[in-house]
Amino acid sequence: MIPELGHFAVILALTVALAQGILPLIGAQRGIASLTAIARPAAVMQFLLIALAFIALTAAFLSSDFSVLNVWQNSHTDKPLLYKVSGVWGNHEGSLLLWVLILALFGAAVATLGNNLPTVLRTRVIAIQGLIGVGFLLLLVFLSNPFERVFPVPAQGNGLNPLLQDPGLAFHPPFLYIGYVGFSIAFSFAVAALIEGKVDAAWARWVRPWTLASWTALTIGIAMGSWWAYYELGWGGWWFWDPVENASFMPWLLGTALLHSAIVVEKRDSLKAWTVLLAILTFSFSLLGTFIVRSGVLTSVHAFATDPERGVFILAFLVVAIGGSLALYAWRAPALKGGGIFAPVSREGALVLNNLLLVAATSTVFIGTMYPLFLDAISGEKVTVGPPFFTATFVPLMVPLLAVMAIGPMMPWKRADLAGTLSRLKIAAALTVAVALVTLYLSGVDQILAVLGMALGAWLIFGAATDIAERTKLFRISIGESFRRARNLPRSAWGGAIAHAGLGVAILGMTGTLSWETEQLQIMRPGDRVEIAGYELEFDGVEPVTGPNYDAVRGTFRIYRNGNLIDVMRPETRRFSDPPMVTTEAAIRPHNFGDLYAVVGESNGDGGYATRIYHKPMINWLWIGTLVMAAGGLVSLTDRRLRVGAPARRAATASPDLRAQQRAT
């Protein structure tokens, strides 16, 4: 009964989305108030219906209702509660339901929070959001029904892929989707602006909080996925340039570019057509990512089961959404009149450079991801593009970007004095050179890339600190006065500096772990010792353990430093039976700026075990850095100019028709 309610709710949501997508657009075009009035209640209704469906599917997973095909295929009664819940989105159909839920949530958010938007613009944004919803709901209802029943009812489920049974990965998809789907709002705003033929500072101010929120969520989502790969896959890597990873990384890069170009539209009334194009492209790459992951055009190590029929549907949807919006762009964008002019050396100029480099970087990732497919399509030749390609193309684009990143925020709008700006950064530059020299001294000339990486990371951090110091006139006026200025700085200035410094910290982490990682791979017997990075690890043997839905072999390592026992590490190899699979649970201990990382592997048959022990210097800086970046996004989101008059404050006073609507459901 409950699954049927869910199924019914999804079908109703599709019809509501159709009404939400079509009628208000006509209303806005012809000025028919009765039709435009449909937009807001329809958006809220669509969200409530999809939420109902989502609750129904979650209930089926929690009660292990194996009469539902999806639950039978992906769950098991022995599975811990957390993974019963995460099992809802750990499969194609359920993750699509989560996708449309978030899409509808964003649509409903614009409907309920967007009181300060001009009615026509708001109506069009909600309608376009509805049309995107139609596309995904069609896919859900006709090709990916999560509520399909099986008969006779199986007694036990197949279980969730054990690799996905992990707290880190349980919450990775929701964050990723909030990021992906959140960009749909920027897309809807862009398309609405093209229909109206008007982009102004107010438009940019409305787009920015949505883009910021999405960007922040996507940052967290990508970091979680990378963290999961680090500790779960058992080889200590954190980024593989896998097509699925690239699919999430490309919207992030473009979203970053969009965040920055929207600033120029808002402050300087310039780069309008470009910003609209970026907003379209950012969401287009989110859609393209969906296509890559779900259609099976590219084989990937961690894609869901793929289906060519869905591929055809998603491709058709891409044509309508991306092709349609870009055609609209070609038609309408020439009418968007640019405003402020600026010299090449200026804040605007720096932001244009930022955009060019980020778009170029996105292109290299895109080419690397799609090249095998295209070559195959043209000539039938088959090639692989491995990490060497990405290292050789992506990294050189990042170096100038990072170098300019510390300078850009210090430049004034319109026209900047480069020498003057650089002279204000001389303390930061001196500190950066000091970091480079210390690195050079400690690691030698053959580690020149390490020196470059550490210098760039330090440059970003010191540059961000200088930015704040300059704005607060630190040491030039009294400390108390500086403190007062710091409190009154716009939150977006703080957010930007924090995010830039966060990237610096992450770069230091990447450089440290790539340059100074050490590893020991060997067969160990109980009592054997191995030395790594100044630690001694004694292997104590293994013991069998039984988990809730797996059997495991647990190894014990005693860690000694200068002869003193300081810690014990217990890595596991888990053997799941439903479905049959072995996973490694690395033991990870943070010590002295780095991680000790131990994995116990196969037995060699006479008492020895294959063990892998790594020392990963500074790897935690990578995660901390990304969290700091996300924190910067959140701080910027609390900026007064985004808050005042905008969203939250007026949320309490929903319009009467809306309240009636909510009471009715």
Kindly state the tokens that stand for 201: 């500072």
Q: How far is CA 80 from the centre of its chain?
A: 27
| 315 near other proteins, judged by CB under 8 A | yes
The token pair at 644 is: 């005042």
Alpha carbon of residue 430 to chain centroid? 34
542 scored as a contact of other proteins (CB under 8 A): no
Q: Stretches 3-11, 197-205, 245-253, 308-316: which one binds other proteins (CB under 8 A)?
A: 308-316
Q: Quick check: 285 binds other proteins (CB under 8 A)?
A: no
Cα 184 to chain centroid distance, Å, stands at: 14
In the complex, minimum distance from the CB of residue 51 to other proteins, in angstroms, rounded to a whole number: 33
| Minimum distance, C-beta of residue 338 to other proteins, in the bound complex (Å) | 13
Site string for other proteins, 380-419 (x = CB under 8 A): -xxxx-xxx-------------------------------
* Cα–chain center distance at 408: 25
Interface stretch with other proteins, choices 135-143, 217-225, 371-379, 655-663 (CB under 8 A) = 371-379
Q: Is 320 in the site for other proteins (CB under 8 A)?
A: no
280 within 8 A of 252, measured Cβ to Cβ: no
Among 231, 329, 597, 609, binds other proteins (CB under 8 A): 329
Backbone φ and ψ of 467, nearest 5°? -55, -50
Q: Contact between 163 and other proteins (CB under 8 A)?
A: no
If the CB atoms of residues 301 and 565 are measured against other proteins, the closer one turns out to be 301
Contact segment (CB under 8 A) with other proteins among 31-39, 321-329, 468-476, 504-512 equals 321-329
Q: Which two tokens stand for residue 326?
A: 């870009």
C-alpha–C-alpha distance, residues 329 and 526, integer Å: 68
Q: Which stretch binds other proteins (CB under 8 A): 126-134, 323-331, 527-535, 536-544?
A: 323-331
Least distance (Å) between residue 20 CB and other proteins: 26
Of 101, 333, 350, 542, the one binding other proteins (CB under 8 A) is: 333
3-state secondary structure of 304: coil
CB-nearer residue toward other proteins: 428 or 553: 553
Q: Under the phi-then-psi rule, with left for phi > 0, alpha for psi from -120 to 50, and beta for the rest, what region is 416? A: beta
373 binds other proteins (CB under 8 A): yes
Among 6, 94, 209, 601, binds other proteins (CB under 8 A): 601
What does each C-alpha distance from 197 to 123, 187, 615 come to in angstroms? 15, 15, 57
Of 459 and 550, the one with the shorter C-beta distance to other proteins is: 550
What is the Cα–Cα distance from 471 to 451, expressed in whole angstroms?
A: 30
From residue 440 to residue 469, what is the string marking binding to other proteins with x (rule CB under 8 A)?
Answer: ------------------------------
Looking at the chain, how many residues does it have? Answer: 665
Please identify which residue in 311, 338, 339, 340 interacts with other proteins, judged by CB under 8 A: 311
Chosen residue from 29, 167, 331, 400 binding other proteins by CB under 8 A: 331
Helix (H) / strand (E) containing 453: helix 448-471
Is the preceding peptide bond at 579 cis, omega within 30 degrees of 0? yes
The alpha-carbon radius of gyration of the chain (Å, integer) is 27
* 610 is a contact residue toward other proteins (CB under 8 A): yes
Q: Does 322 bind other proteins (CB under 8 A)?
A: yes
In degrees to the nearest 10, what's the CA dihedral of 327, 330, 336, 337? Answer: 180
Does 291 sit near other proteins (CB under 8 A)? yes
Q: How far is the CB of 260 from other proteins (least distance, A)?
A: 19
Among residues 370 and 456, whose Cβ is nearest to other proteins? 370
Stretch in the footprint of other proteins (CB under 8 A) among 109-117, 251-259, 596-604, 618-626: 596-604
Cα–Cα distance, 436 to 438 (Å, whole number): 6
Give dist(CA 471, CA 210) in Å, integer.
27
Measure CA 541 to chain center.
40
| CA–CA distance, 212 with 190 (Å, rounded to integer) | 15
230 contacts other proteins (rule: CB under 8 A): no
In angstroms, what CA-CA distances link 63 with 147, 157, 576?
Answer: 14, 12, 22
Instruction: Please state, in angstroms and rounded to a whole number, the distance separating the CA atoms of residues 58 and 510.
Output: 38
User: Least Å distance between CB 267 and other proteins?
Assistant: 24
Residues that bind other proteins (CB under 8 A): 233-235, 237, 240, 273, 277, 280-281, 284, 291, 295-299, 301, 308, 311-312, 315, 318-319, 322-323, 326-327, 329-331, 333-334, 370, 372-374, 376-377, 381-384, 386-388, 519, 521, 580, 601-602, 604, 610
